[in-house]
Structure 1
Amino acid sequence: MATVDNIRNGLIDKILSIKNKDFLQALDNLITSSSSSSELVELTNEQKVMLEISEEDIKNG
């Protein structure tokens, strides 16, 4: 699995090669809108249980 730094650096390399102004503007709008909408999502009890089970599965291989 790629690390966050690897993904970020790969994206930076790709962005640096883009020459299309409209595409870069749309990408900027996408990034700006997604980073500003950092609202919390409330999970249901069932979702919390499933996440706990998943974490146990990961711990146990």
Structure 2
Amino acid sequence: MDTADNIRNNIIDKLLTISNKEYLNALYKLISKSSVENDAIQLSEDQLLMLNMSEDDIKNNRIVSQEELDKMDLEWLKGL
């Protein structure tokens, strides 16, 4: 049986592939009407670790712009 975290992550993965704006707006309206908004979200140790690592990267200027990332992705795709 999937845990709530697994289900949530699977939904997020699928959402990232959707480009239809109307479909996304409909999903957003559905989700925004739920009562989950008032619930505190418990992060896993791994999620907290990733957030802390991200904060450290930002603090130490270990960042890449979206433009640079796009260029790196294109180079990577060309190598396939």
TM value normalised by structure 2: 0.43
Kindly report the root-mean-square deviation, in angstroms, between the aligned alpha carbons of the 2 structures: 2.0
Q: How many residues align?
A: 38
Structure 2: distance between partners of 1:15 and 1:28: 11
Deviations 1:8-50 (A, max 9, x none): 0000000000010000000000000113687xxxxxxxxxxxx
> What residue ranges of structure 2 are gaps of 5+ in the alignment?
39-80
What residue is the counterpart of 2:30 in the other structure?
A: 30
Work out which structure has the larger RCO, using CA pairs closer than 8 Å and 6 or more positions apart in sequence.
1
CA separation of 1:23/1:36 partners in 2, compared to 1, >3 Å: closer, same or farther?
same
Structure 1 ranges of 4+ moved more than 2 A: 35-38
Structure 1: distance between partners of 2:21 and 2:32: 16
> Identity over the aligned pairs, expressed in percent?
55
CA separation of 1:5/1:36 partners in 2, compared to 1, >3 Å: closer, same or farther?
closer
TM value normalised by structure 1: 0.56
> What residue ranges of structure 1 are gaps of 5+ in the alignment?
39-61
